[in-house]
Amino acid sequence: MNTVKSTTLAIQHLLAMYAGAILVPLIIGGAIGFDSAQMTYLVAIDIMMCGIATLLQVYSGKMIGIGLPVVLGCTFTAVSPIIAIGTNPEQGITDIYGSIIASGIIIMIIAGFFGKLVKFFPPVVTGSVVSIIGISLLPVALNNMAGGQGAKDFASSSNVALAFITLVIILVVYRFSTGFIRAISILIGLVVGTILGVFMGKVDFSPVSDADVLHMVQPFYFGMPTFNASAIITMTLVGMVS
């Protein structure tokens, strides 16, 4: 494969991963109440870890990797449980990180055994779980569609119209396109919606213009991970389902 083709496919993989990878931290950060600086770090850390996980998957080893260029992004299955942990007064973002680390280790240990139990979980069971998680996220989506908590123009007609147009674009692209375009229907909707938001005066690019061109992700930006038993059990179950 020549350089042009491999580069094109690499960009396609990147865009396909990016569309799904950024939505999860945006939803979680918005629900927890992060400011723009915290949201930037959350998205940056998310993308970096997706890249590391993808590189590990390319490696073909006994314990790690399948030797294929499988892009690893974020699972929406974990969104609702993570929001529940992050908004719990007795827990927080450090408990989220601790539970993900601990559940990841647990799942690695039991992966071989659990793989043999998959046949006992028919699609109707896993599908029901995913559907319930999606329904539980509706209040977060509706709140953001109205402008987000604390917005001065919350639930204004312009906010609702912009949200509706963005949603329609995503649905139309997904329904009437195929292949790569269909895979990035959400990204297309986000881009078009953002452009419309610029003309409507709803997008502020000042944080982007004030930011450095290059910036290293700071380890433990949100604090050292803490390990909460209930959070670990929750994320372990989520990992097993997904």
The per-residue pLDDT for 209 is 78
Average pLDDT over residues 108-122: 77
The residue whose two tokens read 């649905």 is 171
Question: Which tens digit of pLDDT belongs to each residue from 201-216?
Answer: 988 888 777 777 777 7
Question: Which tens digit of pLDDT belongs to each residue from 8-64?
Answer: 667 766 766 776 678 889 889 988 888 888 888 888 888 888 888 888 888 877 777
Question: Which 8-state DSSP code applies to residue 242?
Answer: -
185-199 and 3-21 helices cross at what angle (nearest 10)?
Answer: 70
- As a whole number of angstroms, the distance between CA 161 and CA 203 comes to 15
The per-residue pLDDT for 111 is 78
CB atoms within 10 A of CB 206: 8
The per-residue pLDDT for 60 is 78
